[in-house]
Structure 1
Amino acid sequence: MSSILTNRGATVALQTLRSINDQLSTVQTEISTGRKVSQPGDNSAVWAISKTMEADVRGFKGVSDSLNLGQSTVSVARQGAETISELLTEVKGKVVAAQESNVDRNKIQADIEALTEQIGSIVNAASFNGQNLLKNSDTEAGSGDIDVLASINRSPTGVTTSDINIDKIDLGINEGSVAATGGTFAAAAATGTVNATQSVDIDVSGLTVETGTAFSLQIFGTDGDNSSFTAADYQSTAAAAQTQAEMAAGDMTYVARDGDTMEDVVYALGKKWEAYAQGNGLSSDVLDLDFKGSTITASSNVTDGTDSIAVNVSTISADAGNTIAGGLADLASMDVTSDAGASKALGQVEALLGIAVDAAASFGSDERRLQTQNDFISGLSDSLKSGIGTLVDTDMEEASAKLQALQVQQQLAMQSLSIANSQPQSMLALFR
């Protein structure tokens, strides 16, 4: 049936042309923007996912900046610790030279003091963006370490962050003090004696570590006839029971810093023992102390049932007013102008050199850890960007082919519409 009022063919052709034009407009938009999903209307689910991932990528950029800042800060500290290690090696050379009595010890002492001042200058200068990891003498909580933003973690319940903790290692030369009176003094808070067993473990894990608390190591040997060892050489105090005044004046004391654990205290006491033992010429056969974790292991090859050596750890509470010393504070009191001072200095410098080397190694490990995390964050960001591209970017080859096909279909639809519109004119022939 033909009608001059209704042209079904033209209607169908027009609908087809409109559909083709809509598709053509979509493809042209994809090509011009480079994205197949550029707004929620294109694909709401994919658009929402891509926006969340884009926010994460931007967040990881901030994490990378934080890691770069942290790495630079640690790098400065590592360089400072390495330089200090080299200077301490020079100090050791001076101290060794001072062991000879026919040298000018006053000049050697002057050289040591000059090197000590230089070490102090390096510690003060080893700062990056106002952060100095070679200083840790503050009693303020949280001042003993820094947190470097390391990652953002997305989970079904929300977004959290994670940090890499970097401990400060004090290499300062400022002297501290232990209060001779006041506070709570606990003599032999942890104790052990080597006798016939010739070995004992002293567990100090039960002691409380609080910033400003002082710890000391005391030894007291008993050998009535000096048959196994010279008792006086292995007595760091006048009597078996150490007094608070003796602890305050002792060589083997340490005041806890912010962030210290018992393992840190044991390590510090171990370094004090190394200096004391070497400086006083103590034999490891008579008394050898090993410091690991929160345990001090004392051993001897000569003690027996009557000849024994007690090893004690005493404490003075922080409210006594103890002050925290620099990690290399013994440099300031080092004096090689006498035989006794030169001998003591040799033990001191060896222990101090160990502290500086350990600090440089620790900072090097921290620096590597930050670099590894930064590399991971960089790779993760690249993977997220690639994933976002897979979700929303236009496949240009496919879009190009589709554009050409739609252009052909558009031309054919227009031809079809033109033919459909011309059909009613043929009806005029019926009325001629």
Structure 2
Amino acid sequence: MSSILTNNSAMVALQTLKSINSDLGKIQSEISTGKTVESAKDNAATWAISKVMSSDVEGFRAISDSLSLGQSTVGVALDAAEGITDLLTEIKGKIVNSQEENVDRGKIQTDIVALRDQISSIAGAAQFNGLNLLSNTDNTEGSGTASILSSLDRAGDGTISPSNIDVSKQDLGTGAAEFGATAVASAGDLIAVSAASAVGPAGATPVISFTADGAAGGASYRITLTGAAANEWGTTAVNFEYVARDGDTEMDVSNNLLKQMNDYATANEFTNTTFTQDATTGAITVANTGAAADTLGVAVAENLDGTAAGGLAALADIDVSDADGAAAALASIEGLIQTSIDAAASLGSDGKRIETQNEFVGKLMDGLKSGIGSLVDADMEAASAKLQALQTQQQLGVQALSIANQAPQTILSLFR
């Protein structure tokens, strides 16, 4: 049956042509944008995944900038630490020269002072964008560590957690410690002694214990030893002080004070007094093996808000003007050089870790970009071939619709 109201052939041809034109528009969009999934309506799941991955790429780009900044900061500190090590080595050479009797120790001391001032200048200027990794005297909690954002870790549930590379500050300053002026809340909060007098054969054996209450820095510890008239220490009170820096433990405090006391006893050739340390708690036991009258009094003091000494503060005590000073300086400089070497080695390790992480982040971004491309990028070779096919189909569809539209014209012949 033929009808002039309903042309089924034309409707079929029209729908086919519309479908061809829709596909042709899509393939032209792919060619012009380069993407097969440009919006969520193209493929919601693939689009969502690609957007999450794209946000991660942007995050890692910012992390790469953070790592580059951290790498530069550590690099400046490392160069300064290596330079300070070289200057300390030069000071050692001058100290060795001062051991001879027929040298001008005064001029050597002048050279040492100049080198010491240069070390102080380098340590103070070794900052990048306001951060100096060679200074660690701030009392603020956490100030002893510089955290550098190194990664964003995505869990299975989609939550993000940052990861950091913590760089420990190394103190190569030459400033002296300043004992705090603020009293602790109650006696024994920082340092306590089990007995305060009559240390010796006829007296007690006091134990000095420590608490690292100054984890935020500034906790000030003082041990005072006073001998009797017949004692090898004499009646002069001798103070041993240490001001904690951020992150110090009880053992750090104990090690420093113990070294001071042992060095003093050795330098003065004391034979009756010994100091022993508990390997776990750091508590120091003071003993005196002299005669019954050879007693030693022990007192302690504790305050807050002090300023920690620079790692090279002992440079101020080096004086080769006389033979005794030259001998003492030779013993002291080795420890200072080792302090500087340890600082440079630590910064070098941190710098290498940051560099490695930065390289990894760069490769990770490349991998993510490649993954995004495989999800949403158009296959241009296939798109080109499909375009040619659709253009041919479009031409044939137009022809088919034209033929179908001519069908009602044949009905007119029936009425002639």
Partner Cα distance (1:357, 1:297) in 2: 29
Contact 2:10 2:405 in 1 (8 A): yes
1:2-41 CA-to-partner distances (Å, cap 9, x unmatched) read 2222211111011000000000000000110111111222
Is structure 2 residue 380 aligned with structure 1 residue 392?
no
Q: 267-276 vs 89-98, which deviates more?
A: 267-276
Deviation for aligned residue 1:187: 5.8
Please report the RMSD computed on the Cα atoms of aligned residues, expressed in angstroms. 3.9
Contact 2:135/2:169 (<8 A) preserved: yes
- Which residue in 1 is equivalent to 2:219? 213
- 1:428 corresponds in structure 2 to 412
Query: Is 1:317 matched with 2:292?
Result: no
In structure 1, the residue corresponding to 2:317 is in which secondary structure?
coil
Residue 260 of structure 1 pairs with residue 244 of structure 2: no
Q: Secondary structure at the match of 1:5?
A: coil
Change (3 A) 1:166 1:281: farther
Distance 1:274 1:86 in 2: 29
Alignment of 1:184-333 (within 5 A): 184=187, 186=191, 208-210=213-215, 211-215=217-221, 246-247=238-239, 250=240, 253-262=241-250, 264-265=252-253, 268=256, 316-319=301-304, 322-333=306-317
Instruction: Provide the TM-score with structure 2 as the length reference.
Output: 0.81
Asked whether 1:66 is paired with 2:66, we answer yes
**Higher deviation after alignment, 107-116 or 39-48:** 39-48
Residues 13-412 of structure 1 aligned to structure 2 (within 5 Å): 13-155=13-155, 156=157, 158-178=159-179, 184=187, 186=191, 208-210=213-215, 211-215=217-221, 246-247=238-239, 250=240, 253-262=241-250, 264-265=252-253, 268=256, 316-319=301-304, 322-412=306-396
CA offset at residue 426 of structure 1?
Answer: 2.7
Q: 1:187 to 1:335 in 2, by over 3 A?
A: farther
Give, in angstroms, the shift of residue 213 of structure 1.
2.5
Contact 1:38 1:392 in 2 (8 A): yes
Equivalent-residue separation in structure 1 for 2:360 and 2:261 (angstroms): 42
CA spacing shift, 1:287–1:361, aligned 2, 3 Å: farther
Asked if 2 retains the 8 angstrom alpha-carbon contact of 1:274 and 1:351, the reply is: no
Residues 189-239 of structure 1, C-alpha deviation per residue, up to 9 Å, x if partnerless? 79xxxxxxxxxxx9978654442224578999xxxxxxxxxx96xxxx559
Superposed CA offset, 1:273-296 (max 9, x none): 89768867899xx99999989769
The alpha-carbon deviation at position 162 of structure 1 amounts to 2.0
Could you tell me which residue of structure 2 aligns to residue 11 of structure 1?
11
Distance, in Å, in 1 between the alignment partners of 2:194 and 2:340 is 30
| 8 A Cα contact 1:109 1:335, kept in partner | yes
Deviation at 1:154, TM superposition (A): 2.5
Per the TM alignment, residue 69 of structure 1 is displaced from its structure 2 partner at its CA by: 0.6
**CA distance in structure 1 between the aligned counterparts of 2:79 and 2:260, rounded to whole angstroms:** 25
User: 1:128 and 1:71 mapped to 2: Cα distance?
Assistant: 10
* Other-structure match for 1:198: none
Report SS of the residue matched to 1:326: coil
- TM-score, scaled relative to structure 1: 0.78
Task: Indicate if the aligned counterparts of 1:277 and 1:347 stay in contact, CA closer than 8 A.
Answer: no
Instruction: Note closer, same or farther for the CA distance 1:182–1:64 as it changes in structure 2 (3 Å cut).
Output: closer
User: What are the ranges of 5 or more consecutive residues in structure 1 without an aligned counterpart?
Assistant: 191-201, 221-230, 299-303, 307-312
Deviation at residue 160 of structure 1 after TM alignment: 2.5
CA distance in 1 between partners of 2:48 and 2:169 (Å): 43
State the 1:272 CA deviation: 5.4
Classify 1:322/1:22 alpha carbon distance in 2 versus 1 (closer, same or farther; 3 Å).
Answer: closer
Please give the secondary structure, in 1, of the residue aligned with 2:307: coil
Kept in 2: contact 1:267–1:291 (CA 8 A): no
- Shift in Å, 1:391: 1.5
Q: Are the counterparts in 2 of residues 37 and 393 from structure 1 also a CA contact under 8 Å?
A: yes
Give the CA deviation at 1:257.
0.6
- SS in structure 2 opposite 1:375? helix
Cα pair 1:171 1:327 within 8 Å, conserved: yes
Unaligned runs of 5+ in 2: 196-206, 292-297
- Which deviations, in whole Å up to 9, do the C-alpha atoms of 1:228-264 show, x marking residues without a partner? xxx96xxxx559xxx9x522xx4xx432112223454
Query: Taking every aligned residue pair, what percent have the same amino acid on both sides?
Result: 50
SS of the residue corresponding to residue 154 of structure 2 reads strand
* Residues paired across the two proteins, number: 394
CA-to-partner distance for each residue in 1:21-65, whole Å, 9 max, x for gaps? Answer: 000000000110111111222122222222222122111111111
> Cα distance 1:289–1:405, how it changes in 2: closer, same or farther (>3 A)?
farther
Secondary structure of the residue aligned to 1:332 is helix
SS at match of 1:318: strand
Describe the shift of the 1:189–1:331 C-alpha distance in structure 2 as closer, same or farther (beyond 3 A): farther
CA 1:261–1:219: 2 relative to 1, 3 Å = same
Alpha-carbon distance between aligned partners in 1 of 2:399 and 2:251, rounded to the nearest angstrom: 88
Distance 1:270 1:161 in 2: 40
Structure 1 pair 276–54 and aligned structure 2 pair: CA distance change class (3 A): farther
SS at match of 1:101: coil
Question: What is the DSSP-based 3-state SS (H/G/I as helix, E as strand, rest coil) of the residue aligned with 2:25?
Answer: helix
Query: Which whole-Å CA distance do the structure 2 matches of 1:431 and 1:423 have between them?
Result: 15
- What SS class does the counterpart of residue 325 from structure 1 fall into? coil
Judging changes above 3 Å, is the alpha-carbon distance between structure 1 residues 325 and 392 closer, same or farther for their aligned structure 2 residues?
same
Distance 1:380 1:95, change over 3 A: same
